[in-house]
Structure 1
Amino acid sequence: MDPPEVQPGERADVEQDATPTTAEVDAAVLLLGAGVTAATHPLLYVKLLIQVGHEPLPPTVGTTMFGRRVLYLPGFFTYAHHIVRVDGRTGLFRGLSSRIVSSIISTVIRGKVKQVELRSKKADQQNSLRRVFRETSHEMIIQCLSRLATHPFHVVSVRCMAQFVGRETKYGGVFGCIIKIFKEEGVTGFYVGFIPHVLGEVLFLWCCNLLAHFINTYAVEEGFSQASAVRSYTKFVMGIAVSALTYPFTLVADVMAVNDCGLAAGLPPRSPVFKSWIRCWNHLNQKVAIQVQQEQRRHSCSAGRDNQVGNELNPFRNCGTGFGFFIIFIAAAAAAAARCQKQTRWISSS
């Protein structure tokens, strides 16, 4: 018996049913974002504990590439193993629920704003500076709106993780933390450290997009066979460099989120009480300057004693800013050289 023939209209209906709907795509994006947030949470947890100055593990003796013996602070895996030993494996995910809620809200806001985004005019060139300014301004508005809506959950997550320092149990679930913060500090308690966080994100967007535009325009030639591939990675590399430069804003925002909230991580003697994020910035800046002077004195005193164990910390632990400046300097030099080369070719051809 022959199978029934499928009419063209019925075939189109079947193909439409096989196409995922917008709701299914949005749900998949939300699940993917939640999965990435959960996977990276232990790394951010360890990073936050280091930011608030909690380093319970002693440094270990190591050797630099030049043969000098120094003291290295423990890395991520050693620190994570310490957290597991104290709180168990679930302890690595303290404060995760708040971050997942924040990720979902941020994804929804970005999706809604992008739906009302004005499309670029066809007359604009693909790499025109005007288009870069327009797109970066739009991204800045999205980022500010997203940060305004999600920063309270960021504060909740940071305080939940900072409880590890003093072994407190003041902050529990998401809604319990929200009620406690509102009763003790009011609405302003949800936006502690909001200004440095926004400033850092806005600075990151503008520096990253402008640097990527200048490099793609002046350093990557059109005739180059791998030009499209190089341009696709330029923004990613610039993001790594610029994130190192804007890290101080993130550090100040996280320190202010914990400061003077009743936790040991934000109270003396571990941390002074700051009245504003600017005073926190100045305090950290002075602290870094003192450490630099101590390092210089230690190097001058230990000159010629290669076999003595130094007191230096791991140089790779605090070299993010220098690495960022190095990447940007190389990119700017490459762009200037390419620009001069193009001008030389134009003069010789004319």
Structure 2
Amino acid sequence: MSKPREANKNSYWSNYASRIILNTASHPIEYAKVLIQLGYEPIPPRPCTTFFGKPALKLPNIFDYVKHIKTVDGFAGMYRGLVPKLCGSLVCAVTTEKVLQRYAGEVSRDDDEEHQQNVEDPRGKFVKDLKRDIVSRTSAIIISHPFHVITIRMMAQFVGNETRYMGLFSSIGEVYKENGILGFFSGLVPRVLGDIIFILLASSLTFAVNSYVFEEPDLQMYTNATMSFLASAITYPFQVVSNCMAVSNSGLAAGMPPLMPMYSNWSDCWFDLSNRQQLKRGSSLLIRYYTGPQVIISGRPVPLPKNDNMNLSY
């Protein structure tokens, strides 16, 4: 094995190890965020005032939510769903790497004239890179999505204190028993659409700003992060809908009435959440306000009981 190839291989494994460490460390926060996205709020809101002094009801922040999970399930309970999540992350990384390698091989077979043209044409290079990113990301999501479904369903069991989805292999059988083969791809369409739109927005905005606004390299280095943040905020509702669809009709309490309506497809879920202004729930992790039915009594907001038991929040 040549030294460059060996160095690349070591780099890949180093990236995989870093990904595993990062996913493990952030899992409790991601776990709590998923439960919020599903609309589950076990801790009642408390009265507070907004930055402008307006009375409001405040929900626990993400760290309070993680603490609640630990109180109920213990320290190990905060890592429910970690194994399939790591498997999915690894599959996603390997798939992305293989697609990029194949794409690089195809590009290297182009003739010198076309290659020279792409070098001289920034727009041509941008379009090629955009296609490469979309193909690699979409392929990785499709192949790794079954692990994502199992992860979300394992987490969603917290809502009903269930134990249907436990080990990885037993969960595979449970998904198949409940929904068949298609169950492994529940919520795939909104997830893929969200990522494609994210790549299109982030890449296009970065290219436009760096080409026509910021010509200084020192300023261009911050453009990608800024545009990615903006694109992430715009496409966030697709993540909420995808996770809801991964649980819908799963046999879990979190995916059935009264906690969640029975959705026929992802667009049905989208319009329902949109009508209830819930497409952005979970987007704010530190300052979260209750937006469900409430009344003001003696200058203090009081939540009204709801028939569907679903707390509405951001």
Alpha carbons of 1:65 and 1:207: their partners in 2 closer, same or farther (altered >3 Å)?
Answer: same
Partners of 1:283 and 1:189 in 2: CA distance: 21
Q: Which amino acid aligns with 1:266?
A: G
Q: Could you say what the CA RMSD is over the residues aligned between the two structures, in angstroms? A: 2.7
Greater displacement, 126-135 / 84-93: 126-135
Partners of 2:73 and 2:120 in 1: CA distance: 52
Structure having greater relative contact order (Cα 8 Å, sep ≥ 6): 2
Partners of 1:237 and 1:31 in 2: CA distance: 27
Match of 2:264 among 275, 283, 293: 275
Does structure 1 conserve the Cα–Cα contact (< 8 Å) formed by 2:100 and 2:132?
Answer: no
Q: Which amino acid aligns with 2:63?
A: F
Aligned residues between the structures: 285
Greater displacement, 121-130 / 131-140: 121-130
Alignment match, 1:139: 133
Does structure 2 conserve the Cα–Cα contact (< 8 Å) formed by 1:59 and 1:71?
Answer: yes
Alignment match, 1:72: 58
Partners of 1:229 and 1:38 in 2: CA distance: 34
Please state how far the C-alpha of 1:275 moved relative to its aligned partner. 1.1
Alignment match, 2:274: 285
- 1:146-180 Cα offsets, whole Å, 9 max, x none, are 01110000000000000000000000111111122
Partners of 2:37 and 2:121 in 1: CA distance: 39
Q: Percent identity?
A: 33
Alignment match, 1:195: 189
Partners of 1:152 and 1:64 in 2: CA distance: 41
Alpha carbons of 1:64 and 1:125: their partners in 2 closer, same or farther (altered >3 Å)?
Answer: farther
Match of 1:101 among 87, 99, 105: 87
Partners of 1:200 and 1:17 in 2: CA distance: 39
Alignment match, 1:23: 9
- Structure (1/2) with the larger helix percentage: 1
Q: Which runs of 5+ in 1 are unaligned?
A: 1-15, 222-226, 290-294, 319-350
Partners of 1:110 and 1:254 in 2: CA distance: 22
Alpha carbons of 1:267 and 1:121: their partners in 2 closer, same or farther (altered >3 Å)?
Answer: same
Greater displacement, 59-68 / 135-144: 59-68
Please state how far the C-alpha of 1:287 moved relative to its aligned partner. 1.4
- 1:74-122 Cα offsets, whole Å, 9 max, x none, are 1011111101100111111100001100111111111112222225934
Superposition pairs of residues 298-309 of structure 1, within 5 angstroms: 308-309=299-300
Please state how far the C-alpha of 1:125 moved relative to its aligned partner. 5.1
Alignment match, 1:236: 225
Q: Which amino acid aligns with 2:254?
A: A
Alpha carbons of 1:30 and 1:270: their partners in 2 closer, same or farther (altered >3 Å)?
Answer: same
Does structure 2 conserve the Cα–Cα contact (< 8 Å) formed by 1:127 and 1:217?
Answer: no
Please state how far the C-alpha of 1:311 moved relative to its aligned partner. 6.0
Alignment match, 1:255: 244
- 1:293-338 Cα offsets, whole Å, 9 max, x none, are xx7x98xx97xx9x823469xxxx74xxxxxxxxxxxxxxxxxxxx
Superposition pairs of residues 1-350 of structure 1, within 5 angstroms: 21-116=7-102, 117=104, 118=107, 121-124=115-118, 128-221=122-215, 227-288=216-277, 308-310=299-301, 318=314
Partners of 1:128 and 1:98 in 2: CA distance: 40
Give the secondary-structure state (helix, strand or coil) at the position aligned to 1:168.
Answer: coil
Partners of 2:142 and 2:118 in 1: CA distance: 32
Alpha carbons of 1:64 and 1:173: their partners in 2 closer, same or farther (altered >3 Å)?
Answer: same
Q: Which amino acid aligns with 2:252?
A: L
Give the secondary-structure state (helix, strand or coil) at the position aligned to 1:246.
Answer: helix
TM-score when normalising by structure 1: 0.75
Partners of 1:172 and 1:47 in 2: CA distance: 20
Give the secondary-structure state (helix, strand or coil) at the position aligned to 2:60.
Answer: coil
Partners of 2:162 and 2:175 in 1: CA distance: 15
Give the secondary-structure state (helix, strand or coil) at the position aligned to 1:70.
Answer: strand
Q: Which amino acid aligns with 1:308?
A: G
Partners of 2:181 and 2:20 in 1: CA distance: 27
Give the secondary-structure state (helix, strand or coil) at the position aligned to 1:124.
Answer: helix
Q: Which amino acid aligns with 1:169?
A: T
Partners of 2:55 and 2:177 in 1: CA distance: 52
- 1:249-295 Cα offsets, whole Å, 9 max, x none, are 11111001001111000011111111111111111111129xxxxx7
Q: Which runs of 5+ in 2 are unaligned?
A: 109-113, 279-290, 304-312
Does structure 2 conserve the Cα–Cα contact (< 8 Å) formed by 1:197 and 1:253?
Answer: yes
List structure 1 runs of 4+ shifted beyond 4 angstroms: 16-20
- 1:52-95 Cα offsets, whole Å, 9 max, x none, are 11101111232322223322111011111101100111111100
Q: Which amino acid aligns with 2:178?
A: E
Partners of 1:126 and 1:63 in 2: CA distance: 57
Q: Which amino acid aligns with 1:244?
A: A
